[in-house]
Each structure stands twice: as C-alpha cells, then as structure tokens.
Amino acid sequence: MSVKTSSDYLRRRLDEILARVSTVRASIGNYDSISGKELSKLKREIKGAEQDLADFSSQYSDFNRTAGRKVDELLIAARTTLLSPFTSLLAIAPKIVRDLSKEFDKEIKFITEGERTEIDRRILEQLKDPMIHLLRNCADHGIETKAERVSSGKNIEGKISVKVTLDFERNVILTFEDDGKGINKAALINSAIKCGVIKNSEITTLSDDDIYNLMFASGVSTKGFITDISGRGIGMAVVAEKIEALGGKILVTSNEGKGTKFTITLPQTLSTFRGLHITCSGEDFIIPTTTVEKVTRILPDDIRIIESTRSIKIDGEVISLVYLSDVLNIKKRQKSSYESGYLNVLILNSNNKKCAFVIDDVFGETEGLIKDLGSQLPHVKNIYGATISGSGKVVIVLNSHELIINSSEYKSINDRPTFETDLGENSSTAKRVLIAEDSITIRSMLKNFVENAGYEVTVAVDGLEAFNLLKRNSFDLVVSDIEMPRMNGFELTQRIREDYDLKNLPVILVTALESKEDQKKGLDAGANAYIVKSSFEKSNLTDTIKRLI
C-alpha cells in the first residue's frame, strides 16, 4: 500500500470513529431518559469506539514508521544523486606540487588517500581554490630547503599528504599535512600585532589554537618577504572564508621542527543537513548543528558588562552576548515572555569565533533538505537557505558565520532589550552610588559624571575606606578602580560578595587594566561590569549604572 493510499484510508477511519463518538456523546446528553436496555447498548458503543481508537492508533503507528522509511529513502536518494568522488579535484594536485617543487628547488613527495570518498559536487567545485592555497602553504611555508632538511637530520625529500575520510556523522574530513618545520608561533604573533589583529597585552592569554588561528586574519603572514606564491597574508584568509561559507570549519595543529596539519570538516552535502530548531520573537529558525557549541539558560543577573558590551561567563570563558532578534532586525518579545526569569542562550562557534545569542526556545535537532532562496534572492544577510519542517512549514536556515560577524553591531548596552527597565530614571528618589578611586583627578571626574546623571554620590580614596562606608551606610551601586592602596578593586569586590548584607550589591570596575586575564579576574571576583579607562566614555558608565540599578 502506498503512503498516499494509507493516508487516505486512515483519514476515512478517523472520520468514522469521530462520527461514532459524536453519536455516543449525543446519547449521553439524554442520560436521564435512557432505559436499562439503551444503557447496555450505549456501553457497547463506548467499548466499540475504544476498540476502534486502539486499532486506529496501531494502524497510525505502522503508517508513521512506513512514511519515515520512505522519507529516509528519499533523502538517501537525494544525497546520492548529488555526490561526486574527490578524484576529479585531486587529479590536478600532483602537477601543482611538482611545479612548486621546481619553483623552490625542493624535493617533495606527494601522497593522497581516500580520493574515492564522495561529497556534494557543489562543495567539490568550491574546494579548488582552498586546496591550491593549502598546497602552496605547505610547499612554501612548511617544507624546508634541501640544505635545511639535511642539517636538521631529515630526509632530503619532504612529504605533503592529502587524506579524505567520512566520520560517523557523515561529515567529510579533509586533511593537508606536511613534515616540514612547523609554524613559528612567535613570528605569527608579531605579524598579528603589526596588523592590529591583537594587542601586546593579549599575548599571555592566547592558547595554541588561538595563535594558529591568527593566520586566518587578513594580512597576517610569517614570511619575511613577498613572493608570488605566499607571504601576502591573503591566501589563508580566503581559505577560512571559503570553508565557513560551505558550512565547514578548519583546525590547525603544528609541531615546530616536525610539521603542520590542517584538518577541514565539511558536510557531505549542501542539501541534507542536521540543524537545531529554535524560535526567536515567535518565529521558527534552523541553526546548523556544526556551529552549535552549547545551549544553556541564564538569569539576567548573570549578564556582565565589559567595555559597554554585554557578556556572560560560560565554563570559565567570557563570551559576548547579543539578542538574536537584534541581529535579525525583528521585534523583540515583551517582558511577559520571560516570566520564568531565565533567558535561553545559544552559543555559536565558527572557526573559534564565539558569540552567545538570546533566543526564545529550543525544540531539538532536525534533519532535512536545504534549498537556496532562488535567483531573485542570491544572498540575504544572515540567511543560508530554507527547509520544510515536518508540519510542512517553510523554515529559514540561518548562517552562523554571518550571525557572529554581524553581531558586533549589536553588543552595546545602549541597545537594551525591551524587558530591561530604566529604574534609575523612573525612581522617585535618587539612587546612591559609592565611588572608590585613589586618583583625585579621576575621582572628581567620575563623581561629576555620575551626579550629572541624577545619582547621589559618595567617594572613597581606596577599597578599605569604601568597604567601611558600605558597612555603615546604604548604597545602590559601587564604582571602583582596581589599582588602589590598602585594598584593591578585586579584593573590594570579593569582600562585597562574601558579605551577607552586601552580596547582591552591583559593582562596576573602571580601570586601566585591559588584558583579558584581568577582565576575567574581575568577573571571577564578582564584578557586574568592567570598563577600561583607555576606551572610557561618559555614556558607557552612566548607561551601565542605569542598567544595573
């Protein structure tokens, strides 16, 4: 029996059962006038209706399983018609490596494995440029000259290998590996500093993964000179952009003196994919699961302000927080939607760039076919395509990479969500703010800023005086420097959090210390916000105070 025939049959059976139930309901309505004989008949009707419902439930379960198998078969068929082996792409690789060997007078052995592995031909067509860039990078940056290899005790012939496999989730794993000199982390960091990608103060906070990912920033290169092949810091940025646009990610591992490995993870098809079904402002959306790092719930009080940017701390890491409705430019939900007091947060990670998004709800994972929006809409900001849900509804598939990039426009606290109220403005009595700052110049400046915003201000010359004032008087918020005599800002914040009467008092740290390590230390101590003096603006401070009290 076909799916359509089964569906029609079940629809007729359900109509019959509903009609029978309707008859029983009408009889029950005249219960007072029912005779004993009619009551027995009514009992038989109810029992028959119960049996019909049980039969229908069993038949529906069978139908559901059959329909599910049919859908799976169709999905497999759709995948298969779009797949092509890597053979065609890798066929051009040996010549590229031979040409590079001659160009640099290097001996290079080229090895491929898994070229029969299949992938969506549309992805395959987009991998040509990334493959060429990576092969050039391995040959130019990775493999040493003959003299260098001999002096380091290596075989004079270097090796570059390309391997293609499928993982258990049917993702394609593409690796490019060389046995060359590895990545010079110091040179990479220096190049990134010169390009303005990172600051000197951030160096100590960088992990190996963070350092290696610097090579994907435009302009960053470890070459000391420019060649036609590499050194311009453009190729690797292009590689990252291409891979991310295809819904993939790239990971770099390296061992100085032994070699470097680039691991690219890609969906096997662009058409079928797994996604996370979410809602935002009452609308349904799908997020590719490959970029979903975590889904969690937070309290509004968990939100911290760092340099006027909303942030939260997840697993010890500070991550910027935005409202997905802002990035998508759709109306926010009203305060009543958050009556539980919690915010649902979705954390996305695209090539180690992370951002947390406030959403309405999560409904679990889904698998389906994805289609573009047609030639009339070749590219729509933040949107990857669309899919059909199980209920037949068209659902937008969001582009995680673009969401993370575009989120930077919406991280400022100046764009407050609709359920956050301005209590500082509406309160009938002025809120009291305590400022702890050892510099008389900055102390006077902060006092003027806060008083002009309508708050009553008391000042202290260090953390110890501030804490003593807190124990004797009532305040609504503390603004504190960090580097102060007797008791610094970290210690003051920690003392406040440990005190039973003061533990819920909002604390803002305003400081010259701008490293990520210091910011994390401030949040760990319990600060609600962290503002760096080098980027200080009056509005940053007053807006943060307004939000916290």
> Residue 247: how many CA atoms within 13 Å on its side-chain side?
27
Report the alpha-carbon distance of residue 404 to residue 359 in Å, rounded: 14
Residue 396 is part of a domain; what is its CATH number? 2.40.50.180
List for the chain the helix, strand, coil content (%; round to 5): 45, 25, 30
pLDDT band at 425 (very low <50, low <70, confident <90, very high): very low
> Given this model, what pLDDT does residue 453 score?
85
Sequence-ordered list of residues with C-beta below 8 angstroms from that of 187, at least 6 positions apart, any chain: 222
Cα–Cα distance, 282 to 359 (Å, whole number): 10
- Pair 252, 331 in one domain: no
Identify any residues that bridge with 500 across adjacent strands, giving them in sequence order: none
Look at residue 336 in the predicted model and tell me its pLDDT. Answer: 38
Answer yes or no: do 460 and 539 share one domain.
yes
For residues 173 and 216, what is the distance between their CA atoms, to the nearest angstrom?
19
What is the Cα–Cα distance from 511 to 480, expressed in whole angstroms? 8
Average pLDDT over all residues of the chain: 80
**More confident site: 110 or 303:** 110
Which domain covers residue 503, as residue numbers?
423-548
Instruction: Please name every residue paired with 409 in a beta bridge, in sequence order, or none if there are none.
Output: none
**One domain for residues 243 and 96:** yes
Percent share of the chain, pLDDT over 90: 27
Picking from 406, 427, 528, 535, the residue whose alpha carbon sits closest to that of residue 479 is 528
Q: Which of 82, 99, 129 corresponds to the end of one domain?
A: 82
With contact defined as beta carbons under 8 Å apart, do 138 and 100 qualify?
no
Structural contact between residues 155 and 264, judged by C-beta atoms closer than 8 angstroms: no
In a domain? residue 500: yes
Q: What is the pLDDT of residues 473-485, one digit of tens each?
A: 899 999 999 999 8
Tell me the three state secondary structure of residue 191.
helix
pLDDT at 418 over 50: no
Lowest mean pLDDT among 96-100, 218-222, 245-249: 218-222
Same domain, 58 and 107: no
Q: Is the pLDDT of residue 416 over 60?
A: no
* 157 shares a domain with 199: yes
**C-alpha distances in Å from residue 488, one per residue of 239, 367, 511, 517:** 46, 53, 11, 16
- Helices then strands, counting H and E runs in the chain, come out as 18, 23
What does DSSP assign to residue 516?
H
- Count Cβ atoms below 10 Å from residue 358 Cβ, excluding itself: 24
52 assigned to some structural domain = yes
Residue 331 phi, psi (nearest 5): -65, 135
Average pLDDT over residues 388-399: 80
Last residue of a domain, one of 244, 267, 290: 267
Helix axes of 489-498 and 463-472: crossing angle, nearest 10 degrees: 30
Higher pLDDT residue, 380 or 102?
A: 102
Q: Among all chains, which residue has been given the structure tokens 């990608």?
A: 197
pLDDT band at 226 (very low <50, low <70, confident <90, very high): very low
pLDDT score of 228? 42
In a domain, 90, yes or no: yes
- Decide if 218 is inside a domain: yes
When divided into structural domains, the chain yields a total of 4
Backbone angles phi, psi at 15, to 5 degrees: -60, -40
**Same domain, yes or no: 232 and 305:** no
**DSSP at 140:** I
Residues 113 and 192 occupy one common structural domain: yes
Look at the block and give the residue holding tokens 């430019």. 329
pLDDT tens track for 500-522: 889 889 999 988 887 888 888 88
Q: Average the pLDDT over 539-547 and give the result.
A: 81
Query: What are the CA-CA distances from residue 258 to residues 134, 186, 209, 301, 383 (Å)?
Result: 17, 17, 17, 48, 41
Overall average pLDDT of the 401-410 stretch: 82
pLDDT at 358 over 60: yes
Report the 3 state secondary structure along 380-428.
ECCEEEEEECCCCCEEEEECHHHHHHHHHHHCECCCCCCCCCCHHHHCC
Within this chain, do residues 74 and 184 fall inside the same structural domain, yes or no?
no
Q: Please report, for residues 311, 349, 420, 426, 449, the alpha-carbon distance to residue 414 in angstroms, rounded to integers and kept in the order given.
A: 14, 25, 11, 17, 17
Are 95 and 193 found together in one domain? yes
pLDDT of residue 227: 38
**Higher pLDDT, residue 190 or 205:** 190
Residue 418 covered by a domain: no
pLDDT digits (tens, 9 = 90+) for 134-188: 999 899 889 999 999 999 999 999 999 999 999 887 789 999 999 999 998 998 8
Is 210 inside any structural domain?
yes
Same domain, 229 and 290: no
Q: Could you tell me which residues come within 8 angstroms of residue 381 by beta carbon, excluding any fewer than 6 positions away? A: 402, 406
pLDDT at residue 491, rounded to an integer:
93
- Separation in Å, CA 102 to CA 32, 109, 225, 231, 362: 102, 12, 19, 18, 55
Query: Which DSSP state fits 105?
Result: T
- Does any domain span residue 195? yes
pLDDT at 421: 38
Lowest-pLDDT range, 8-12, 247-251, 260-264, 411-415? 411-415
What tokens appear for 400 in the block?
A: 């995680």
**Structural element, H or E, at residue 514:** none
Over residues 255-272, the pLDDT tens digits come to: 989 999 999 999 888 766
User: Considering the domain boundaries, does residue 417 fall inside one?
Assistant: no
Q: What confidence category does residue 335 fall into, taking pLDDT thresholds of 50, 70 and 90?
A: very low
Pairing between β-strand 83-85 and β-strand 343-350 as defined by DSSP bridges = unpaired
C-alpha–C-alpha distance, residues 251 and 1, integer Å = 49
Position 494 pLDDT exceeds 90: yes
CA angle in degrees (0–180, nearest 5) for 164-170-175: 25
Looking at residue 539, which CATH number applies to its domain? 3.40.50.2300
Q: Is 117 helix (H, G, I), strand (E, B) or coil?
A: coil
3-class DSSP state for residue 330? coil
How does DSSP assign 208-260, residue by residue? HHHHHHGGGSTT----SS--SSS-SS-HHHHHHHHHHHTT-EEEEEEETTTEE
Q: Among positive and negative, which fits the CA dihedral 95, 97, 102, 107?
A: negative
Average pLDDT over residues 293-300: 88
Same domain, 406 and 486: no
Nearest to 216 by CA among 197, 196, 202, 190: 197
Is residue 307 domain-shared with residue 246, that is, in the same domain?
A: no
Lowest mean pLDDT among 27-41, 132-146, 265-279: 27-41
In the chain, the largest separation of any two C-alpha atoms, in whole Å, equals 109
Domain final residue pick, 30, 50, 82: 82
